[in-house]
Amino acid sequence: MTLQLGDQVPNFTQQSTEGDITLYDYLGDKWGVLFSHPKDYTPVCTTELAEVSRLKPEFDKRNVKVLGLSVDPLRDHEGWIGDIEETQSVALNFPLLADADRKVSDLYGMIHPNASDTLTVRSVFIIDPNKKLRLIITYPASTGRNFDEILRVIDSLQLTDNHKVATPVNWQQGDDVIIVPALSDEDAKALFPNGWKTLKPYLRVTKQPNL
């Protein structure tokens, strides 16, 4: 089964560096970011896990729980975590699934056999509090991800859910946003009392509402 946006994500229980984790219990009513690493003791992954640890306060601020995955056993994870701390000067501060049996990797389609039979690709899944899948990104093993972009997407998704706005190309915090086309002008008046600029009936620009 291929997971698609809007699907309810499958639940699972798997070993992790912080004990067994059942996804739905781990997330509770928060947002989630589940992301895979091709293999333990690999250089790009080492830098990514460190960066997510550095950014953890930013994920916390947005009510997001992060969960990494690598298709190696727990004992390998434990040694690797020491290397991450030693080389990147930051301690891993979120759980890393030990998916040696590929239970989660297969469930979420993280192994792309024509890329590699054994390594996962760099998948990112953003999951909302209703356990609906809201974003999928797939990077090749040799390219480290941009986790600032993941935070940017979370900000955009939360703005859409909370304020009925969409975000334009290359949007960053504080930039103007777009009133979602599904909202009538009548309903928009109540939500955007300071008004908006109508460039076209389908392109209505307003200040970011949650500042």
Residues 27 and 64: their CA atoms lie apart, in Å, by 8
Question: Per rule CB under 6 A, is residue 42 in the interface with ligand BEZ?
Answer: yes
**From the CB of 67, what's the least distance to ligand BEZ, in Å?**
18
Question: Per rule CB under 6 A, is residue 142 in the interface with ligand BEZ?
Answer: yes
Closest CA to 55 of 143, 147, 154: 147
Residues 65 and 126: their CA atoms lie apart, in Å, by 10
**From the CB of 82, what's the least distance to ligand BEZ, in Å?**
17
CA–CA distances in Å: residue 2 to residues 18, 94, 112, 130, 208: 28, 27, 12, 19, 35
Q: Name the residue nearer to ligand BEZ (CB basis): 23 or 84.
A: 84
Q: Name the residue nearer to ligand BEZ (CB basis): 22 or 142.
A: 142
Question: Per rule CB under 6 A, is residue 45 in the interface with ligand BEZ?
Answer: yes
Q: 68 Cβ partners below 8 Å, 6+ apart? A: 35, 36, 37, 49, 52, 94, 95, 96, 97
Asked if 99 contacts 69 with a C-beta cutoff of 8 angstroms, the reply is yes
Question: Per rule CB under 6 A, is residue 82 in the interface with ligand BEZ?
Answer: no
**From the CB of 138, what's the least distance to ligand BEZ, in Å?**
14
Residue 45 annotated to the active site:
yes
Question: Per rule CB under 6 A, is residue 126 in the interface with ligand BEZ?
Answer: no
Kindly list the catalytic residues: 45
Contact positions vs ligand BEZ (CB under 6 A): 38-39, 42-45, 119, 141-142
